[in-house]
Amino acid sequence: GAGVSQTPSNKVTEKGKYVELRCDPISGHTALYWYRQSLGQGPEFLIYFQGTGAADDSGLPNDRFFAVRPEGSVSTLKIQRTERGDSAVYLCASSLIAGGYNEQFFGPGTRLTVL
């Protein structure tokens, strides 16, 4: 497809479980961003990759959150021991390269609900 895709679109899990959220960026985009959006709030920065490496992970809330992008394309956001406060829409975005001149293209998001 032409756009950013994310799977699953919805994920319901129980407190304490492990979840993985996947992002497929636009082909050729080297920068990939993860955000978390709660109801009525703006996207909250979590981490971004330039290529395979995490260039900035300062937004990850704690060590239960981890993200990888092993081949510089698809990325997976991993959340261990989920808590009810992790419930949110997780957005992925990609851009041609990182940097302020490059618009980010957002995926449709994964709605995570922790019961």
Do the beta carbons of residue 87 and residue 17 sit within 8 Å? no
CA-to-CA distance for 79 and 85, rounded, in angstroms? Answer: 12
Nearest to 12 by CA among 92, 86, 108: 86
**Cβ closest to another protein, residue 5 vs residue 13:** 5
DSSP conformational letter for 26: P
CB of 16 to another protein, least distance (A): 29
Site string for another protein, 27-66 (x = CB under 8 A): ----x-x-x----xxxxxx--x-x----xx--x-------
Residues of the shown chain interacting with another protein in the complex, contacts defined by CB under 8 A: 4, 31, 33, 35, 40-45, 48, 50, 55-56, 59, 91, 98-101, 103-109
